[in-house]
Structure 1
Amino acid sequence: MNISDVAPPHHLSRRQWLGATVGALALVSVGGLAVVNHQIDSYVDPWQEKVAAAGFLQKTALVNGVNLSYAEGPDHGPALVLLHAQHMDWFSYSRVLPALSRSFHVFDIDYPGHGATTVPEGYAMTVRRIGTDLADFMTATTGPAFVTGNSSGGLLTTWLAANRPDLVRAAMLEDPPLFSSEADRIAGTIADRSFATCADAVAQDVDDFLLFWIDSNSTFFDKHAFKGSAKVLTAAVKSYRGANPGEPVEIRFLPDDTTRLFVRGMDQFDPRFGAAFHDGTWNAGFDHAQALRTITCPVLLLQAETSTLADGTLNGAMTTQDGQRAASLLTHGTYRTIDATHVVHLDQPSAFTQLLEDFFVS
C-alpha cells in the first residue's frame, strides 16, 4: 500500500499529511537522514524576507531594567502597538506586518517573558509590572497609540486601556481570555494544561523548556501535526539548534503557521509567565470586569472559537457568555465574532487586517 492511498486525519489536508509523513519516515531512515537534516537546518521562514522588505527593523529599549525587544516599521501613519499571544513572540504577526505597515507606524513588541526581551533577576510576572513597563516604553517611544493584543496580549491591552488612558487611543482585543483566566476559573480551561507544564518546569528548574514542553504535551502534536510527531520534532529542534545557534527555532514540516510559530515562541519563552497564570498571581489586583468598566476609549472585542471539550474544559479563550458580558461592560465597545482559531491574525490574516484597519482608521 502506498501512503498516498491513505486518507489524512481530518485536521490535515492531504498535502500537509503527506509532507509530514514523508518527513517523519525520512528522518528515521538512515539513508535520508542527511538530506532531511539539511532541509531542517537550512529552513528560513519566507515571511522574514517579506517583513524586512516592508521596512521593519529589530530594536531594543531599556525600560525599568527590562531590555525590551521590538520590531519597528516605517512611519506611514499613527502609532500601532501589537502585543502577541502568550507562548509566541513578535514574529507571530509577520503575516500581517507588511499590510499594516502601509497605514500605521507599527511597534511589534516582545513583552517580558517572551522572545528576545530580557528582564532583571526576580522580575515579577504580573500584569501590573508588565503593563507598567509597557506604558513607560510607550511614553518614551510611541506616544499615544492604537493598541491591539491577542490572548494574554489582549489582557495587557485591557490593562493599558484601563490604567493608562492617556496612551491608548483605541483598543482591539483579539480573543482575550477575559474572566476565564482569572484564578477561580483558570483550572477549567485547556490553556491551563500548558500553564501546569510551565509550573512543573519552574518547580523542577528545567534547563530546556521547549523540549520539556514537547515531551510533556505529545498529544498536542499528535493532534496538530501527526501521530508520533513529538519525537520527530524533538530531533528536529536539536538539529536546527546545532546548525543555527542562538536563533529562534523554525521547523519546516509542521503543518500550519500557528503551530510553527508556537514552537518558535516556546523556544524563547520564560515558563514563569505561564506558571503565574496557573497559580493566579499574574492577575493579582486585576479584576477584569472592573477594568472593562473603567475603559473610556473605543474598543473592538473580537471573539473566536468558543468550543468546549466533552469533559467540560473550555477549548477557547472565552465562552460566548464571557464575550457578551465583556462587551456589555464597555462604554464604547464593539463586539464581533469570527469563525477562526484563537490566533486570528495567523488563521485569517486578511480578515484580521481588514477588521483592524476599519476600526482604527475609518
Structure 2
Amino acid sequence: MHKKLYSAFYKNAEIKLHYYEIKNDLQPIVMIHAQGVDSTSYANVFKALSKKYHVYAVDCYGHGKSLHDAEKYNIKDISEAISQFIREVVKDKVVLVGHSSGGLIAAYIAATTELCSKLYLEDPPFFASQGERRFQTFNYVDLSTICHRFNNQLDEKDFVLYYFSNQYAWNFFPEKSREKIKEKLTAAAKRYREKHPDKNLKVPFWPKAALSGFCGMNDYDPLFGEAFYCDSFHSDIPHKEILRNIQCETVFMKAKTNKNDDGLLLAALDEEDLEQVLQLNPNCSSVRFDCGHGIHIEKEKEFLRVLILQKSLQRK
C-alpha cells in the first residue's frame, strides 16, 4: 500500500467511520467501496490518484473498522455519516466515487447535499437491486442469499470460508467436474484460512478479479447482506427520486451486461436501467468498459484515465 497512506477514524456521538487518507493540497476525492469488501479495494489506484487528488477512502458501516450496527445498514444512515465526515474532516466540496452499493450511497449524498462537485458512479445497481427486480440478479442469488443462510445457521463461524464454498460462481464450472473442483479448492481455501486468518483469501488458480471480492471480507458483517436480501438497504427511497435530485456533473461507468439462459442478470444493471439513469439525470454521461463488475480492478488504466483525464480537461 502507498507509503503515505494514513489510517484514521472520524467519530462523534453517533458516528464511527474508519478511513484512509493520502494528504496533499489537491482537490479532495472521497471513495466509497462496494459491498463485501472494504476501502482497501481501491488500494491499486491510490498512488496514481494521489498525483491529482487529496485521497480519502471510507469504510462503510458493516465493513472494515467502521461501526458495525445492523440498524444502520441502509443508504440513508450511511450517507448521512459520510456527509458529516465530509463536512467536518474534509471541509470542502469533493469529487465522489462509488462502486456498486457504494455508488448508490455516493449518488444519495450528491442528491441530498451540496457537498459533491463531481460524481463518478462505478457500475452501481440502480433499479435492479430494488424491490422484486432483485430476485433475478447475481447479487441476490450470490452474496445476499449466502449472507441470509449464514445468519440462520450455527455450524460455520468463518463467513469468508462459508461464502467461498457456497458462492454462485461454482455454477460456471462444468457440471461433470464441478464437485471435484469445488472440494479441492474449498480445502485449499480452508488451509489458507487456518494459516492466515487475518489476511485476504488466496486460493491457487482462482482468478485475480474474483479474489478481489474477498478484499476486506474478514471484517464484513453478513447482516449487511441481509439488508439487500430483505430490501431494507434502500430505506424505501425510490432510485428514480435519487437520480432526479442529482445536480452535479455525473459520469456513469458501465461494465458488461450479461444474463444466463434463465434470465438471471449477471451484472449490476442492464441496458434499459442505464438508459433510465441517463434520462433521469440529464447531467450524466456514460463510459463503457469491456469487463466485469470490478472496473477499477479489471481495467485499472482505463478507470484511472476517466478520473484523471476528465479532471485535467475540466481545468482547461
Tell me the TM-score normalized by structure 1: 0.78
2:22 corresponds to which of 73, 86, 94: 73
Q: Report Cα offsets for 1:145-168 as digits up to 9, x if no partner.
A: 10011110110111111112x211
Q: 1:329 is matched with which residue?
A: 280
Distance 2:289 2:141 in 1: 25
1:188 corresponds to which of 116, 136, 145: 136
Q: 1:124 is matched with which residue?
A: 72
Distance 2:189 2:67 in 1: 22
Q: 1:343 is matched with which residue?
A: 294
C-alpha change, 1:356 and 1:90, in structure 2 (3 Å) is same
C-alpha change, 1:215 and 1:59, in structure 2 (3 Å) is same
Q: Report Cα offsets for 1:284-325 as digits up to 9, x if no partner.
A: 232111111111011001111111111011111111111011
Letter of the 2:261 counterpart: A
Q: 2:170 is matched with which residue?
A: 220
C-alpha change, 1:104 and 1:229, in structure 2 (3 Å) is farther
Distance 1:140 1:233 in 2: 46
8 Å CA contact 1:170, 1:360 repeated in 2:
no
C-alpha change, 1:196 and 1:244, in structure 2 (3 Å) is closer
Alignment RMSD, CA only? 2.3
Letter of the 2:161 counterpart: L
Q: Structure 2 unaligned runs (5+)?
A: none
State the identity %: 26
Distance 1:64 1:159 in 2: 23
Equivalenced residue count is 307
Q: 2:103 is matched with which residue?
A: 154
Q: 2:121 is matched with which residue?
A: 173
Q: 1:86 is matched with which residue?
A: 35
Distance 1:255 1:239 in 2: 15
Distance 1:297 1:349 in 2: 25
Distance 2:203 2:138 in 1: 26
Q: 1:141 is matched with which residue?
A: 89
Distance 2:182 2:170 in 1: 9
Distance 2:186 2:304 in 1: 34
Distance 1:125 1:241 in 2: 27
Counterparts of residues 1-362 of structure 1 (less than 5 Å): 51-53=1-3, 55-120=4-69, 122-143=70-91, 144-164=93-113, 166-194=114-142, 195-204=144-153, 207-217=157-167, 219-220=169-170, 223=173, 228-245=180-197, 247-251=198-202, 253-361=204-312, 362=314
**How many Å apart are 1:332 and its aligned residue?**
1.3
8 Å CA contact 2:61, 2:72 repeated in 1:
no
Between 1:202-211 and 1:72-81, the stretch displaced more is: 202-211
Distance 1:84 1:169 in 2: 19
Distance 1:299 1:218 in 2: 32
Q: Structure 1 unaligned runs (5+)?
A: 1-50
Distance 2:306 2:205 in 1: 28
8 Å CA contact 1:64, 1:133 repeated in 2:
no
Letter of the 1:103 counterpart: K
Q: 1:46 is matched with which residue?
A: none
SS for the counterpart of 2:276 is: helix
Letter of the 2:146 counterpart: T
Distance 2:110 2:168 in 1: 38
Letter of the 2:2 counterpart: A
